[in-house]
Amino acid sequence: MKQGDLVVRNSYGGDVLFRVEAVRTNHAVLKGTDYRLLADAPIPDLSVVRDPESTRAVQQVRIKVNDSINRMRSERERQTEKAEQHIRHAMQQQNQSFFEVPGKVLHLDGDGNYLKKSMQLYNTMHVPSHGLHVHESQMADVLYRLLPQLKPDIVVITGHDGVLKNRSSMDLFSLSSYKNSQHFVNAVRVAREYEKSRDSLVVVAGACQSHFEALLQAGSNFASSPGRILIHALDPVYIAIKASYTSIKDTINLADVIHGTISGIDGVGGIETLGRFRVGLPKPKITSSNPVLKV
């Protein structure tokens, strides 16, 4: 077994696919390929996976991911059709072209590989976005510098987290029982100092097993993880895209957005929030160089 191998843990029934980050004397350091999970395991408990696409764990995740992406595409098609109908009605049936201004996302991620996957999905869905790989402990400072410069509509604060071992069940209410929840809370507070309104700046925060209640109390609109479970790497991205393409006249449908994530209601939750999407009229005759304007 070596660094870079794909493995599963036998004692967990091979439920999650990992990539070996490092090999120690008696154990290996693992990183989930789809779930935001860092773990270590005894080497004898690991089995190398030669064909990951054939494993049950990977097949189930792929189905859920494809369902989420297809749902997003269908929603975008319906939204565009609705906007066209509204414009035609407002212009007394004239065939007037319009342009779209989706909400701009600033995405901070404690994992470089997950950041890459996230940015690919933003690009696929034509969401204006700026992503940075930032260690969780530095996210508050980075946000303090970047928010006034980039002026995003949506901020995603994610990476790695988890409930620490050797603590009682009551310690779940203490931030000291979590690997990075305190760092996420600090970053959310900086975002709320910059913009107090939860409708003007939508904040999506947390990772696997994060302190859901503390993140909401700090000012996030959406957070993980109500059930202290593993969340998929793209769950925060799905919520950000939903916020980016929900009209500023409408609240983001909580049941719909949570159902659309891969982890479900035990993985993410949130509060009623207005969307950040706008429609403009008429369509500019010269294509704008501003990436926020989708014409």
CATH 2.30.30 domain locations along the chain? 6-54
* Second CATH level (architecture) for the domain 6-54: Roll (2.30)
Query: Each residue of 151-163: pLDDT tens digit?
Result: 999 999 999 999 9
* For residues 266-277, average pLDDT: 96
Query: Each residue of 50-64: pLDDT tens digit?
Result: 888 777 767 777 787
The answer to whether the pTM exceeds 0.95 is: no
The H or E element that residue 140 is part of is: helix 139-150
Residues 6 or more apart from 233 whose CB is under 8 A from it? 32, 34, 35, 36, 111, 114, 117, 118
pLDDT for the residue numbered 203? 98
Query: Each residue of 17-35: pLDDT tens digit?
Result: 889 999 988 889 998 888 8
* CA–CA dist 108, 280 (Å, integer): 29
pLDDT for the residue numbered 152? 98
The residue behind tokens 């994610």 is: 158
Residue 109 Cα to chain centre, angstroms: 9
* CA–CA dist 78, 101 (Å, integer): 16
Q: What percent of the chain has pLDDT over 70?
A: 91
CATH 3.40.50.280 domain locations along the chain? 74-280
Q: Are 186 and 139 in contact (CB under 8 A)?
A: yes
* For residues 211-217, average pLDDT: 97
Task: Say whether pLDDT at 75 is over 70.
Answer: yes
CATH class name, domain 74-280: alpha beta
